Amino acid sequence: MEDRAKQRAAFSCPGVVATVAHAVQIRDGFSGWLTQSLTLDAEKTSDIILAVNEALANAAEHAYLGSPQPGLMHTRAEHDPELATLTVWITDEGRWQVKDPSIAPNPGRGRGTMLMRALADRTAVDSTTTGTQVRLQWDHIRARLDAAAQRAQDDDRLLA
């Protein structure tokens, strides 16, 4: 039987219409998965959720700007217990569009990418003609053990 602590935890939400409302739903689902699957303090949890939210908002707001209908966005997260890393990918099938420059910029906006870079240990943004993928990665992330695995780990410590 595979050791529970070595199993990869994963979250997947593929093929969702890229709207702000759907981005919020994905963020909320991801947040629930994150807190149930991984051992994080409140600050790290908040940082991860905020960075993922920014990537989702960018896909919803920019990928299909000017298109008659929004396209799709895909969200995937994976925890690698061997490397103790969490990687989150947010992908769209659109083309990054800058909002109309004739509209006065909102000084409280336009900092999402900088924020993602500040909150994640590693950030990559790859844009092609077929879409954009944001990859966010954090180190030193541990899986949450279920009750049986925690008891076994505690027993191992007592015997050592």
**Distances in Å between the alpha carbon of 149 and those of 2, 146, 153?**
12, 5, 6
Do the domain assignments include residue 101? Answer: no
Q: How many domains does the chain have?
A: 1
Q: Which residue has better confidence, 106 or 79? A: 79
Q: How many whole angstroms separate alpha carbon 37 and alpha carbon 32?
A: 9
pLDDT value for 96:
66
In a domain, 85, yes or no: yes
Residue 106 lies in a domain: no
pLDDT at 131: 94
- Inform me whether the pLDDT recorded for 102 exceeds 90: no
pLDDT (mean) for 127-155:
79
In a domain, 80, yes or no: yes
Q: What is the dihedral of CA 62, 32, 9, 58, to 10 degrees?
A: 10
Q: What is the CATH number of the domain that holds 9?
A: 3.30.565.10
Has residue 156 got a pLDDT over 90?
no
Name the residue with higher pLDDT: 101 or 44.
44
Apex CA 79: angle with CA 38 and CA 90, to 5°? Answer: 110
pLDDT 10s digits, 111-129: 788 999 999 999 999 999 8
pLDDT band at 147 (very low <50, low <70, confident <90, very high): very low
Looking at the domain assignment, is residue 102 inside a domain? Answer: no
Q: Is the pLDDT of residue 100 over 90?
A: no
pLDDT at 154 over 70: no
In a domain, 104, yes or no: no
Burial class (CB in 10 A: 0-12, 13-18, 19+), 70: buried
Of 113, 118, 106, 101, which is closest to residue 59 (Cα–Cα)?
113
**Between these two residues, 151 and 142, which has the higher pLDDT value?**
142
Is residue 103 assigned to a domain?
no
Domain that holds residue 142: 4-95+111-159
Q: How far apart are the two ends of the chain, measured CA to CA in Å?
A: 22
Q: Does residue 46 surpass a pLDDT of 80?
A: yes
Is residue 81, in this structure, part of any structural domain at all? yes
Q: How many CB atoms lie within 10 A of CB 90?
A: 30
The Cα–Cα gap between 90 and 60 comes to 11
Going from the C-alpha of 1 to that of each of 63, 77, 149, 152, 153, the distances in angstroms are: 44, 24, 13, 14, 16
Which residue blocks in the chain are alpha helix, DSSP H?
A: 20-37, 42-62, 112-119, 147-159
